[in-house]
Chain A
Amino acid sequence: MAATLSPPPVRPVARPRMSPRRRARTARGIQYALLLVAAAVVVAVTDWRQVGVSFFNPTVAVEMLPTLGRALTNTLVYTAAAFAVGLSLGLLLALMKLSSVRPYRWIATLYIEFFRGIPALLVVVAFGYAVPVALGVSIGSLTAKAALALGMVSAAYIAETLRAGIQAVPRGQVEAARSLGMSHGRTMVTIVIPQAFRIVLPPMTNELILLTKDTSLIFLLGLTPAQYDLTKLGRDFLSSATGGLTALFVIGACYLCITIPLGLLARRLEATTGRGTR
């Protein structure tokens, strides 16, 4: 038995040991010092005048302003449309994956594996060139094309997220609803999906943020200036203007203006809808 063994010999220490709390404080102090040194080095070696001219050039930023609003709106519209497609298709796939009809499960699995496995870029290109040729139909609206291409990719991820969320709702919730005489469908809609929604809110926010950034791929569909999204606009300014990389920073800031509020909103929603469940 371990208890009968003699305890490990206490090694003599050269200097008095620091108390754990002192040690933690020292460690923290060292980390702060490192941070300060690193910041000082960055500040010292950076050519601030050059940075101002080529990264944060106000003339370029002002020049971009008139077209920026349009591009920002376009990005939002593409994202929203693609998310609408992704969410509806994703919910359908999730329900298919949970279906008792085996072929439905196969189809859903196949779809999910396929669209998760290939780069979104390929799907966008396919929608631009291959689909019109193959099916003999051409989708007129660019927004529709973008929504379908990106939405179909996103649906694969959303389906998996929703499936996991639905399965995470305890069985007892379903049994209670069924024992009260509620049908399978009604139970799904009034009990399971609302509870699954709260469970999937954080991963769903991620999905939406990824989708926002993926709209940068739609330049592959060929855009008129009025259809430019943020990234395409930025690329144009990068290649034409003299402001160096300023366009890059402006565009980056615009993306953050979309994604950060999204994250905040999700946290708010989570807090309010989570009152009951915990």
Chain B
Amino acid sequence: MAEKLLEIKNLKTSFRIRDEYHAAVDDVTLTVNKNEVLAIVGESGCGKSALAFSIMGLHTRAKIEGNILFKGEDIANVAPSKLNKLRGKNMGMIFQDPLTALNPLMKIGDQIGEAILLHNNTLSKSQRREKVVNLLQKVGIPRPEHVFEQYPHELSGGMRQRVVIATAIANEPELLIADEPTTALDVTIQSQILDLIKDLKDDMDSGIVLITHDLGVVAEMADRVAVMYAGQIVEVGDVLTLFEEPLHPYTRSLFNSIPNAHGTQDKLHVIQGIVPALQNLPRSGCRFAPRIPWIDEAAHEEQPILHEVKPGHFVRCTCYKHFKFPEETKEEQHHGVS
């Protein structure tokens, strides 16, 4: 039986915009087990980072409702001082933009050293230095002794991201949240970094939340996948099920819109419209319906909820049973199929 590491229950994270709170994460329930990679996919603006920041307790002005249980303890609204202890030691995060995570005025080696010191003060200075150099080596940084003495601005984007990763894994966290860790990197570097994340999982039994929009990365890394749209989970399932039988129209739209080096699509599917801004999000009815306007209004449910269609495979609403892309509809008419 899988051991639960993180349990998110009915999480709602709202931001205040002109005196009103709007939920960017809206009633999200998810579990991450030990030794498991949970991938979260969705277009930008769907609330993936807001979710990650909520878990890490990094929002300063958001209203957080619901529960976030880390090894059984609710950390959704604990005092920052207590959370600081958890963060960095038991939980690590890799940020989308490495510059937000690095102190521009501090040498690389000192930054990582400090992260280690915060949670382990038994090491001598030279032991700490040795550990940092080892970490830099582990994330594939050439000449780690030299990089130890450098400042963030002296490194390329790829090197900085490796430093952030080294910091995140320095204390061998039980939970690692990686927010688009490789989006800006070249494939060979991406592949090395994904291997490092896998090692953390295999060696330490860590649980990983991997946020990405690269379905290739999902296919290679994930045990389970959650698809997020407009603050809600629209589909969750194990990786094989999700790739073999994606059900929700949003999941299927995403799959068809991405060019892949192993694929053979002629024309990419374009998801019409855009993810609405928070204050314009439809809060009742299906949030995705406006982006599939060719589907008959009457087909949508009033208040779509997650249904378990197979053990472990949840889909919001039932519309998937009738959903077709316009291309498919045209083809059927063409062939005279009713």
A, B bound:
no
